[in-house]
Amino acid sequence: MTFNSSRAKHSGLAALRHVQHPPVFSCSSERVRSYYSRRKCQRKVLHNVLEPFAAECFRQEILDFPLSDRISVRGKNASLRNHAERLIAGDYLNHEGASSDNGDVMRLRLTLWRCKMLDVLAVGAHPDDCEIMMGGTLAILKKQSYKVGICDLSSGEAGTYGSANTRRQELAQASTILQLDARDTLDMPDGHIRNTEENRMKLIRVIRKHRPTIVFSFFNAMPRHPDHYYSGLLTKECVFLAGLEKIETGSPPHRPSNLIHFKELVLNDKPDVVVDISEVWDQKVQAVRAYQSQVVAGNDAEQPPKTFIKSKAFWEVFEARSRMAGAMIGVRYGEPFYCEAPAKILDIPASFSRGSNV
């Protein structure tokens, strides 16, 4: 592949994702230098060419961060490895008219580090949990240019409907609809998720891998499904434990700034925070409908259905929950959340003014 500067400028990472696999990069330092010379702006080179290239290297696991913040380069594609090595060494910043001192290289290293991090990580017990409980919030965050991801503690293999392979395909489709930056599915047993040492280490590794600022998960009070309770309890403990240096996982410690909870489908109390999801409601519904083996579409419901989520009543409660939460803040649709710590309010009138579109 040859980098097209205008294409990289306008489509960023998408320019790399359209490459035929396995990718062959002919992104020479001369082309980057030429692009720089025309633009006379080092920031544009970094943002339009090098950052998308770095993000694609992470996506293909060519770049990684091991125990320290020293960047490692790996993979079988020699051409890609070579460019990745030159990228992190600062070679592509070392050209006439631009400084290649330690400040440039350090900023590029921080850019690479940022490519790996998530702003928000949502943790659910099964595939579809996070889409149902906070799919709208994830979509809103993406519209605001935040990096978001989901961790499913199990693959949902014990569900009444759908095989493990079917669930994986549905999960991938829902992730695409929500435009997630990352998704991890762990191997905790569906129907028997428990707060064990082994499971804590699994989730700690995910938190340290993605280094989220905020984590969302189930409220750790006994709901209808025990897996939801234990996933909330597990997440609460791991958010703290992930910051302890003496717990060895092969990654640096990291403690998220805050943990925010969601509860099960029936809304029976007053939440601490409601997010307006009116503009992305259809996107949330589409993400939930991606789980075709789990939810009913149209008039296809069994009589009687074996699970609540497979009934028409699920969609009625699903929408009623969002309408009720939205009504609390004067909007059409909302998602309710419960906070571990008080929220910091920067714009008081905007935060407390109510809409009128109920």
Q: Tell me the pTM.
A: 0.70
pLDDT over 60 (residue 338)? yes
Strands (E), the chain: 63-64, 72-73, 120-124, 148-152, 182-185, 214-218, 258-262, 273-276, 334-339
Note the pLDDT tens digit of each residue in 63-73.
554 434 445 56
The pLDDT, as a whole number, for residue 95 is: 41
Question: Residue 307: which of 319, 320, 293, 321 has the closest Cα?
Answer: 293
Strand partners of residue 150: 122, 183
Which pLDDT band holds residue 8 (cuts at 50, 70, 90)? very low
Quick one: CATH architecture of 118-352? 3-Layer(aba) Sandwich (3.40)
pLDDT over 50 (residue 38)? no
Q: How far is CA 317 from the centre of its chain?
A: 26
263-288 mean pLDDT: 94
Between strands 214-218 and 120-124, the pairing is parallel
Between strands 148-152 and 182-185, the pairing is parallel
Between strands 63-64 and 273-276, the pairing is unpaired
Q: Assign 182 to helix, strand or coil.
A: strand
248-252 mean pLDDT: 86
Say what percent of the chain tops pLDDT 90: 44
Note the pLDDT tens digit of each residue in 124-133.
999 999 999 9
pLDDT over 80 (residue 308)? no
Domain locations along the chain: 5-115, 118-352
Alpha-carbon distance values, 319 to 278, 314, 338 (Å): 12, 9, 19
Which pLDDT band holds residue 354 (cuts at 50, 70, 90)? confident
Distance CA 169, CA 316 (A): 26
Contact, 235 vs 123, CB < 8 A? Answer: yes
Distance CA 28, CA 92 (A): 9
